[in-house]
Amino acid sequence: MIDFESARARMVDNQLRTTDVTSHSLLSAFLTVPREAFVPEKLAALAYIDSDLEIAPSADGHAPRYLMEPSPLAKLLQAAEIGPDDVVLDVGAGTGYASAILSRLAKTVVALESDENLVSRATVVLAEQGFDNVSVVKGSLEKGYAAEAPFDVIFLNGAVEVVPDALFDQLRDGGRLIAVVGYGNSSAAQVYIREGASVSKRFAFNTSVKPLPGFRKVAEFVF
């Protein structure tokens, strides 16, 4: 029988604290959210390894979907500087793990997912685990969720090639959008901040995470 509570504590001590994750509230959230509940049952024993875990196979031309490795996930959420009054949009919520972590930090969370099966899974597991300040919605990831905008924080739960203007338009003044931009070794975590009508950007740290579907640059024709 696996002691998931001990495994969770080891994850926090060995994977998060050792990679400069220092936020007390964030570490506490990772200690209390059961990652094993958000992965397929056959992978529950691997829930706390330092790796991405597949939560949906490839289908309809889309690559597989993954639960992000704990360390980069924690560092990205720390960079967002989430406060207790913040309203957060989790883009590409998958099975809802990051949304559950966010729910411990923010006032409310909108978990946006495009895959019908993942929407169903996230809805069930978040309800079963009592994360009642998270709403799971289905829709295009690239379009965001204008019905609940503006948001204090928008978190992109995977790597993207480009951040669509539609997402920046859904940020509140002073709001932050956190994304890993680029794929593989050329990718980096970026924090975008809305300041009136403009958006500034700052580099956060180098990292590489699995991509979200879509979010590709439009091909440019050269004549």
State the Cα–Cα distance between residues 207 and 193, nearest whole angstrom.
20
CA distance 151 to 10: 33
Contacts of 172 (CB under 8 A, 6+ apart): 150, 151, 152, 194
> Residue 205: beta bridge partners?
189
Residue 62: DSSP 8-state: B
pLDDT at residue 59, as a whole number: 77
Find out if CATH 3.30.70.640 is the number for domain 52-206: no
The number of helix segments (H) and strand segments (E) in the chain equals: 6, 9
- pLDDT tens across the length of the chain (223 residues): 899 999 999 999 999 999 999 999 999 999 999 999 999 999 999 999 999 999 999 877 778 999 999 999 999 999 999 999 999 999 999 999 999 999 999 999 999 999 999 999 999 999 999 999 999 999 999 999 999 999 999 999 999 999 999 999 999 999 999 999 999 888 999 999 999 999 999 999 999 999 999 898 866 555 5
Helix (H) or strand (E) holding 23: none
Question: Which residue's entry shows tokens 């001590």?
Answer: 13
Q: Which DSSP string corresponds to 102-164? A: HHTTSSEEEEEE--HHHHHHHHHHHHHTT-TTEEEEES-TTT--GGG--EEEEEEEEEES---
The Cα–Cα gap between 160 and 157 comes to 9
- For the entire predicted model, the pTM comes to 0.95
Write down the domain spans for the chain: 52-206
Answer whether 181's CB lies under 8 Å from 192's CB. Answer: no
Helix ranges (DSSP H) in the chain = 4-11, 24-32, 70-79, 97-103, 116-128, 165-168
- 63 vs 210: CA distance, rounded Å: 10
